[in-house]
A and B are shown apart, each in its own frame.
Chain A
Amino acid sequence: MPVKSSNNTTANRFARAGYNTIVKRNSVFLTTIFVSAFAMEMAFDSISDRIWDNINKGRQWKDIAHKYE
């Protein structure tokens, strides 16, 4: 419920746009939740995999496998 006093601030305009596009229809809301969960998971995994491989550069099998194939 938009508050009258802060009707025209930028933040309020963004909040209203977000509410109208995402939250208003339940089907859209649920889809957004599921899609963003998958997206976040994939992003988190690939970022942490990259960090892990960077920490362990040259130690893992995939770093030395090319020598033996």
Chain B
Amino acid sequence: MFRLSAQTTRQAVQRIAVQARYQSTQASAPLKAKNTAMVAAGVATAGAIAYLTMETVDANMLADGLHAPVLPWDHKKPLATFDHAAVRRGYQVYKEVCAACHSLDRIAWRNLVGVSHTENEVKAMAEENEYTDGPNDVGDMFQRPGKLSDYMPRPYANEEQARAGNAGALPPDLSLMIKARHGGADYVYSLLTGYQDPPAGIEIREGLNFNPYFPGGAIGMARVLYDGLVEYEDGTPATTSQMAKDVTVFLSWAAEPEMDDRKKMGMKAVTMLAILTGLSVYLKRHKWASMKTRKILYNPPTPKKH
């Protein structure tokens, strides 16, 4: 028992030390085990002091960003899939609005098949884009129309070009945005619909915009969603909040394409485990019935009379 706990502690200490090493900007040679423990202890102490002296109450909503209200997303219910009509509308919003600046690197065209579009639709959409392929048999790269296996085209070739096109601000990749931000879908929705004039006393630099949900309040991205910006093919009125909701659902899918299957498997697994639990409870009671109903008496030996 002691050995086990000592081992666990040692592993934890080494983990902290490894983290400390990666956080350091200098390249450091691997430390010896003894030094590792001492560094870890130092880091742990410093961390504890920092934690204890930290301000525990912090209502600086401007610096931290206003907490997004928790919204009743129906795809967050334990047994609900994504609303695939909303995913389709959200893809349209992404394509027509967001994709001008934001990439979606981790989603390939094939991922849309059977999720929001038919195979023929996706093939047609992919073919509208040119991709560099090659080398061919004389060693040259060539351009070809997109295929299902290609990934979503990026609006900018590299980070420098993206920054140059957006006054120094880098539009982040949206593939995992819902998982990458505190508040997830609530944050993205609130950010998209939260643009407003800065309150009195707050100066926003030229080229930035005020959004209370963005940490710091000043965001490089301007408000992009206005009522009627896109025209949905299913006739849904394209209000600002509808578009923000649809694109958030689309990005939730992009971040967790496996969610539908995962929840379905979860339902099956919980059902199966419940059945097996019931069976094992029955079996236990069955096997123990003879023991539980047995009357055990102890007759102490009567002391012999001398």
Q: Residues of A at under 8 Å CB distance from B?
A: 44-45, 48-49, 51-52, 55-56, 59-61, 63-65, 67-69
Our pick among B80, B116, B234, B271 for the contact of A61 (Cβ within 8 Å) is B116
In the complex, chain B residues whose CB is within 8 Å of the CB of A56: 79-81
Verify A61–B79 contact, CB threshold 8 A: no
Contact with A along B62-85 (1 / 0, CB 8 A): 000000000000000001111111
B268 near A44 (CB under 8 angstroms)?
Answer: yes
Tell me how far the C-beta of A25 lies from the nearest C-beta in chain B, rounded to whole angstroms.
Answer: 26
B303 at the interface (CB under 8 A from A): no
Contact yes or no, B118 A59, CB < 8 A: no
For residue B272, CB closer than 8 A to chain A, the reply is: yes
B121 contacts across to A, CB distance below 8 A: 68
Residues in A whose Cβ lies below 8 Å from that of B114: 61, 65
Q: Which residues of A contact B88 (CB under 8 A)?
A: 64
A59-B83 contact, Cβ under 8 Å, with A44-B272, A68-B121: yes
| Contact status B264-A59, CB under 8 Å | no
Size bin of chain B's contact surface: 20 to 34
| Residue of chain A at shortest CB distance from B121 | A68
**Do B268 and A60 have beta carbons less than 8 Å apart?**
no
B274 within 8 A of A: no
B115 at interface, CB cutoff 8 A: yes
Question: Which residues of B have CB within 8 Å of A60?
Answer: 81, 84, 260
Instruction: Verify B116–A59 contact, CB threshold 8 A.
Output: no
Which of A48, A63, A68, A69 is close to B268, meaning CB atoms less than 8 Å apart? A48
Report if B267 contacts A (CB, 8 A). yes
Tell me the residues in window 19-73 of chain B with beta carbons closer than 8 Å to chain A beta carbons.
none
In this assembly, does B102 line the interface, its C-beta being within 8 Å of a C-beta of chain A?
no
Decide if B260 touches A48 in the complex (CB within 8 Å): no
Q: Does B110 contact A (CB under 8 A)?
A: no
Given A48-B268, A68-B117, A69-B118, A59 and B84 contact (CB-CB distance below 8 Å): yes
Q: Which residues of B contact A55 (CB under 8 A)?
A: 79-80
